[in-house]
Amino acid sequence: MDVVIATWNGAATIERAVQSALSDDHVSQVIVIDDGSTDGTYAVVEAIKDRIGARIVLQRLGQNKGPSVARNRGLELSSAPWVAVLDADDYFCPGRIKALLDASEGADFVADDQIQVKQGQDPDLFGDALIGHDTVMTLDFAIFVANNISRGGRLRKEFGFLKPIMRRSFLDTNQLRYPEQLRLGEDFALYARALGAGAVFRVIPARTYVSVIRADSLSGKHSKHDLECLRDSARSLQTLPTLSKLDKRLARKHFESIDARVQWLNVIDAVKARSLAAFLAPFFLRWTTSVYLMRCLLEQLMIRSKRSLGLS
């Protein structure tokens, strides 16, 4: 069992992440890919490697290429039958890998629930579950995609945030890797394509992965181009040959939810450019997008009204 950690400027948290994986006897190697960091990340991991030895594999990319490229490089360096991904901000609780391996019979992906906590908070006091279930779940394409369609009040609650252990033979047989054009939503894209290829994806109720939510994370702060790439990847899901009519309908709904966010950015650009035609065009794409854009406009009007009244 190997653990891959892709990190960019993670000097403040990388040691905690690495040590949490190394502390598990079921982990053979921790493979750290420094994705062109400009801080002391590489030096921190190098110091751990000097102490620990062969259980640490460390490689630095010459420039920042994004989490998908870095993770794929880590997969290339691993030959273990099972592999897990750990974000450099996050960490494992004791016993995590054993619990997942114990539930792996007949499965290709096995995840646990997560404890989500804001940066600097104690997960025992403030942690919130990602899913909050108390039984073993088996995800299919429809369930997975339906639980990745953004809704109000469900910030960072999508199933795409799960961090499963993955059976290498399934990944290799189906030629699955992280889509390297994505810097956002790369987990979702990989899992969705795996489920489309027939993966058995099991989720156990244990909560032994701590996900630290940071306001400046890539998933919380991204460019319009990042969102457009995710939108285009979501569109391509609809062409998978194994999907049922329900699967395709949900895949389209997921695509439209992401495209609506892209169109909101187009509206903002149109306002800055003072282009009425460009402002109106997104409202005529589809009714769901129009409703989303009207809601965004209303929220902005309320924010501006409160500011003008000195209420915020």
Q: What is the pLDDT of residue 218?
A: 54
Q: Please count the CA atoms within 13 angstroms of the CA of 139 that sit on its side-chain side.
A: 32
- For helices 224-237 and 186-196, what crossing angle results, to 10°? 0
Other CB atoms closer than 10 Å to residue 64's CB: what's the count? 16
Q: What is the pLDDT of residue 101?
A: 98
Q: What is the pLDDT of residue 221?
A: 66
The dihedral region occupied by 9, where left means phi > 0, alpha psi between -120 and 50, and beta the remainder, is left
Residues of the chain with pLDDT under 70: 125, 151-156, 215-221, 311-312
d(CA 308, CA 312): 9
Nearest by Cα to 179 from 69, 259, 45 = 69
For residue 263, the 8-state DSSP code is H
Q: What is the pLDDT of residue 311?
A: 65
Q: What is the pLDDT of residue 294?
A: 97
User: C-alpha distances in angstroms, 290 versus 106, 153, 246, 263?
Assistant: 44, 20, 24, 9
Please name the residues in contact with 220: beta carbons below 8 A apart, sequence gap of 6 or more.
156, 213, 214
What are 153-200's pLDDT values in tens digits? 444 578 999 999 999 999 999 999 999 999 999 999 999 999 999 999
